[in-house]
Amino acid sequence: MARIFCVANQKGGVGKTTTCVNLAAALAEAGQRVLLVDLDPQGNATMGSGIDKRTLERSVYHLLVGLADLPAVRVASEPGKYDVLPANRDLAGAEVELVELDRRENRLRDALRLVVNDYDFVLVDCPPSLSMLTLNGLCAAHGVIIPMQCEYYALEGLSDLVNTIKKVHANLNRDLKIIGLLRVMFDPRVTLQQQVSAQLEGHFGDKVFSAIVPRNVRLAEAPSHGIPGVVFDRASKGAKAYMAFANEMIERVKTL
Ligand code: ADP
Ligand code: MG
């Protein structure tokens, strides 16, 4: 049975997509069967997996509004060795259309039922909002992975996200839990980052992943080649950190 995880944080530019794409590729590298779901109309996870969002005939939009079934939407990431439910701007329209539909928060969960036995991990890349799309991700998932930068304001945004997760847990999805916080774009030379990192460990304990992803230019370059960072330059510090994170996830799911 696939374990389904959302990569979420309502702030933009915090490393959600980079985490989703690289975790998917690192898990695949470790022999896991992975499906990545792009729930962001920006389609960055799609492009970063080597799939051209501009030429898609069908996307996750069609799946959510019931115009296509999952096998018709799914494509393979060749460089990543995982499957993708891709997205593009069409998905922006889903936000409004979903409101009119039955089981509007559960459209993704219902669609994924078909393939739970085909994968070990399903990773959902959420948009930078607490919208109907993110809600679909949270309702489908067993857990949430929260990437964050160790900055002062990071903690402030976190409480909104944690409250949303609590509400979804209480009202819509009893399975949902926070799997962990992943420190990304980390620069150990910055004292404030060390302080916030220590604060996170103090406050969230073992909910903070041991793996720490450094700021690494190879991870930022990889998407322009349509190749996940862990494949683009496997010797880079960023790639090694995501490989370590993938191993940590493989261990952590055993305890769920
Ligand atoms: P989000 O999906 O939360 O909006 P992204 O993953 O797209 O965030 O990251 C935002 C920007 O930061 C992108 O340009 C990405 O390439 C860059 N980035 C992400 N993680 C790292 C990292 N560890 N080191 C350097 N650049 C990074
Ligand atoms: Mg993104």
Buried b (16+ CB within 10 A) or exposed e, 81-117: bbbbbbbbebbeebeeebeeeeebbbbbbbbbeebee
Q: Is the pLDDT of residue 256 over 90?
A: no
Question: Is it the case that residue 130 has pLDDT exceeding 90?
Answer: no
The pLDDT of residue 153: 81
Regarding the beta carbon of 17 and ligand 1, being less than 6 Å apart is answered yes
- Give the least confident one: 90-94, 104-108, 149-153: 149-153
Q: How many C-beta atoms surround the C-beta of residue 57 within 10 A?
A: 9
CATH fit for domain 3-254, picks 3.30.70.380, 3.10.180.10, 3.40.50.300, 3.30.70.260: 3.40.50.300
Q: Which among 7, 10, 18 is the best mutation to test ligand 1's pocket, defined by most ligand atoms within 8 Å of the CB? A: 18
% of the chain residues with pLDDT over 90: 94
pLDDT on residue 156: 81
Q: What is the mean pLDDT of the chain?
A: 96
Q: Tell me the pLDDT tens digit for each residue of 36-62.
A: 999 999 999 999 999 999 999 999 999
The residue type of 70 is L
CA of 67 to the centre of ligand 1 (A): 32
Question: Is 0.95 topped by the overall pTM?
Answer: yes
Digit-coded pLDDT (tens) for 61-101: 999 999 999 999 999 999 999 999 999 999 999 989 999 99
Q: Which ligand 1 atom minimizes the distance to the CA of 215?
A: 24
Q: Percentage of the chain surpassing pLDDT 70? A: 100
Q: Is 173 in the pocket of ligand 1 (CB under 6 A)?
A: no
pLDDT band at 104 (very low <50, low <70, confident <90, very high): very high
Question: Which among 13, 227, 253 has a CA at the least distance from the CA of 128?
Answer: 13
